[in-house]
Amino acid sequence: MYLKELTELDGVSGNEQQVREFISDKIKDKVDELKVDVLGNLIAYRKGTKGGRKIVLAAHMDEVGFMVTNIEDDGTLAFAPVGGVETQVMVGKIVRINGQTLGAIGYKAIHIQDKEQILKPLSIDQLRVYIGAKSKEEAARQVKIGDYVAFTTTFDQENNRLTGKAFDDRAGCSVLMDIIDKIDRYEDDVYFAFLVQEEVGLRGSAVVVEQIHPDIAIVIEGTTAGDDPELPEYQWATHLGDGPAITFMHRGYVVNKRVYESIIEVAEKYSIAHQAKRRTAGGTDAARFARTGAGTAAAVVSVPSRYIHSPVSMIDLNDYNNTVLLLQKILEQGEAFAR
Amino acid sequence: MKLDVKELIKELSSLDGPSGYEKAVLELIEKKIEPLVDRVWYNKVGTLIAEKKGTGSGRLGIFAHADEVGYVVTKLEKGLFARLETIGGVDPKVIFAQRVKIYTAKGIAKGIVGVLPPHLQKEEHRSKVPSFDKIFVDLSCSELGEYVSVGDICVVDVKPVELNGKLCGKAMDNRAGCASLILAAQLLRNIRNYQDVYFVFSSQEEVTGLGAVSIAYELRLDRAIVVDVTHGDVKIPQFVQIKTGEGPALCVGPVIDKEFYSKLYQTAQRNNVKIQIEPAPGRSGTDTDEVQLSGTGVRTTLVSIPLMYMHTPVEVVDPRDVEETARLLALATTIE
């Protein structure tokens, strides 16, 4: 498992190189081919023993974050979200700009806010990143407009729970890397695609189908949970500890029925804990694979994650391990899978 | 050995001491200040006093509160979740997706303040900030999660960081003030104090200020300087903007003794101490307000260290302001 290293790297959409270099370095000697495409996707290939079909396993390297959009006269930085981040999770956090400069996102003290202001959600134009600079010139020596900004949460593991930033989708990246480590050769040709720019509109995945022409694609995600006291149980999307979540439909895509059912068959055959993702909000690269080029039979398997798109999310270790196991068993079915 | 101002502030900020639970903070301060003074002791309500006898007469108390804002567990929910209420005034907007520490009988439990992901939010969630009734802590990431009880103290788990020479973290309000008192005590090795000086590290400022008033009463002080923080680098309508890095702010207003203020001001001028002036037309919101009314009355002044983002986990102070405050305090002990 590579989650500690992976989640402590910065890789906001469009700026994934730290993550790509880390993964590339770890897997380059374990695969038959490795390349970085025009958009920055890292694609590894392992030849199958029969090679009758091409299967893509995909996870995205990028995470939500921010971009510096202006340097103010007082030396603070105006910023805009990259991907979906609520202002609610921004305040009171330390961020890292361009992989090095630290800054704080503060807000004016409760003592000097009106009563209505206290319970009114902030809009992003009320927030700035403070890097300790007192003028535009001083700030401009360290940062520039267009610099990427990431949260700085460090990884932790206790009580079978993993916490940190960017489990969406470093969890998927780590699952793929674990499968590569199992050095099994499967009947089908397997492509491991580490994608860019998922959080800004499923963009990296758009150029993958044309390069591979896969028969099947399985996207591995860190997906929403919502299993907390503020949501009644009927509104939960997934529940931590109940196993990988298998998606039957999400925004813009009804998952290929044959692949969806085959995944569940494998989980049941090997008694691997699994659950259905019970909400259809949110999208994944599976939608892009399905509608690109000649189309692909795409599916989604996810590690349930609490508090995603915030500086600190949480997954269950058993769910993670069961996700790796499920995908391994799927590949072991070889040509029998999703026939 | 000379204390390093940045390290001292960081060390003090890293300790947890919400109102009523200041013990760890006070123990560190006691260790640091004890070699620099004649005597240290605690009063009945958990306030630490360090006494340094002067060469002349008069009794001067120099106050800094040692407590910080925090949280207390008020309810436990099924599935290892807890609900919180605040100790002191905290804006709910600063608590989401923070790591927290909960002090249980078995040790420190880890928690995360949960937040609904954007994918699951509806209009009702977006239009209003959840109040503390709706905020919850997820304890499932802690081996001690099951031992969390109602009444356990909770703090945000943040480490101080340096931003271009400024320090950023929790509880800079008022560990920056505490640091300035310790540094002032150190300066008294070279500057001989005329008055008897009592460095007071008080408890519970963020809730009632009882730590400061109790000791002001016991010590029968002639004069008091309260050291706290004030809002820096932020526009407050009708008020002068206090700036970080420009030295401590001396308060003027009804809670300040005019004569003592004037002596302190002149001392600052004579010694080129960088200061700013901050008006407080009524109460100042610090221990000054009650210390002034203690016993038969105390001649009070208020010295405030400029601070950004007060009562958030990213409070910012400029260590140069802390050093300048320490210099002013040491010089103030020579006032006859």
Domain count, chain A: 2
Residue A113 pLDDT > 90, yes or no?
Answer: yes
Domain assignment of residue A140, given as a range: 65-151
- Who among B114, B165, B231 is closest to A228 (CB)? B114
What per-residue confidence (pLDDT) applies to B210?
86
Same domain, A130 and A184: no
Determine whether the interchain pair A229/B316 forms a contact, defined as Cβ–Cβ distance below 8 Å: no
pLDDT over threshold 90, residue B118: no
Return the pLDDT at A221. Answer: 96
A56-65, A109-118, B160-169, range with the lowest pLDDT: A109-118
Report ipTM (2 d.p.): 0.93
My answer on whether A226 and A132 are in the same domain is no
- Is A198 considered catalytic here? yes
Helix crossing, A257-269 with A317-332: angle to 10°?
110
Chain B touched by A123 (CB under 8 Å): no
CB B312 within 8 A of CB B239: no
Distance, in Å, from the CA atom of A259 to the CA atom of A248, rounded to the nearest integer, reads: 10
Q: Do A321 and A267 share a structural domain? A: yes
CATH, residue A316? 3.40.630.10
Residues A54-84 have pLDDT tens digits of: 999 999 999 999 999 999 999 999 999 999 9
Assess whether A176 and A147 both reside in one domain: no
Contacting residues of A for B166, CB less than 8 Å apart: 132
Interface of A with B in 158-197 (CB under 8 A): 158-159, 161-163
Please indicate whether, in this complex, the C-beta atoms of B314 and A74 are within 8 angstroms of each other.
Answer: no
Cβ contacts (< 8 Å) between A121 and chain B: which residues? 93, 126-129
Using one digit for the tens of pLDDT, what is the confidence trace for B39-73? 999 999 889 999 999 999 999 999 999 999 999 99
Q: What is the pLDDT of residues B273-285, one digit of tens each?
A: 999 999 999 999 9
Question: Which positions in chain B touch A108 (Cβ < 8 Å)?
Answer: 231, 234, 309
Q: Which of A90, A119, A151 is the last residue of a domain?
A: A151
What tens digit of pLDDT does each residue of B227-270 get?
A: 999 999 999 999 999 999 999 999 999 999 999 999 999 999 99
* B91–A113 CB contact, under 8 Å: yes
Question: Using a CB-CB distance cutoff of 8 angstroms, which residues of chain A are in contact with residue B78?
Answer: 229
- Determine whether the interchain pair A120/B99 forms a contact, defined as Cβ–Cβ distance below 8 Å: no
Would you place residue B123 in the very low, low, confident or very high pLDDT band (cuts 50, 70, 90)?
confident
Distances (CA, A) of A134 to A72, A91, A95, A149, B168: 10, 20, 18, 19, 15
What value does the mean pLDDT take over residues B113-132?
A: 83
Residues A99 and A35 in one domain: no
CATH number for the domain including A110?
2.40.30.40
- What digits encode the pLDDT tens for the residues A150-202? 999 999 999 999 999 999 999 999 999 999 999 779 999 999 999 999 999 99
Residue B87, pLDDT score = 94
Q: Please tell me the distance from the alpha carbon of residue B29 to that of residue B186, in angstroms, as a whole number.
A: 13
Percent of chain A with pLDDT over 90: 91
Domains B5-68+170-332 and B70-156 share a fold: no
Give tens-digit pLDDT for A215-232: 999 999 999 998 998 888
Q: Which of A93, A199, A318 best probes binding to B when mutated, by most B CB atoms within 10 angstroms?
A: A93
- Calculate mean pLDDT across residues B107-114: 97
Query: Among the three residues A151, A175, A207, which one is the final residue of a domain in this structure?
Result: A151
**Considering chain A, what is the average pLDDT of its residues?**
95
Q: What is the pTM of this model?
A: 0.93
Mutate to test the interface with B, among A71, A89, A159, A320 (most CBs of B within 10 A): A159
Residue A117: the pLDDT is 87
Question: Which pLDDT belongs to residue A49?
Answer: 94
**3-class DSSP state of A126:** helix
Domain edge (last residue) among A125, A151, A177: A151
Q: Which residue has the higher pLDDT, B285 or B123?
A: B285
Please tell me whether residues A170 and A261 are part of one structural domain: yes
Domain ranges of chain B: 5-68+170-332, 70-156
Instruction: Read off the pLDDT band of B322 (50, 70, 90).
Output: very high
Q: Which helix (H) or strand (E) holds A142?
A: none
Q: Are the Cβ atoms of A310 and B117 closer than 8 angstroms? A: yes
Among left, alpha and beta (phi > 0; psi -120 to 50; other), residue B326 is: alpha
Query: Hey, are the CB atoms on B114 and A306 less than 8 Å from each other?
Result: yes
The CATH superfamily label for domain B70-156 reads Peptidase M42, domain 2 (2.40.30.40)
Q: What is the pLDDT of residue B10?
A: 98
Are residues A138 and A117 located together in one domain of the fold?
A: yes
Band of pLDDT at residue B1, cut at 50, 70 and 90: low
In whole angstroms, give the CA distance from residue B190 to residue A338.
83
What pLDDT, in 10s, does the model give residues A302-337? 999 999 999 999 999 999 999 999 999 999 999 899
Other CB atoms within 10 Å distance of the CB of residue B206: 22
Considering A83-87, B203-207, B328-332, the range whose residues carry the highest mean pLDDT is: B328-332
Superfamily of domain B5-68+170-332: Zn peptidases (3.40.630.10)
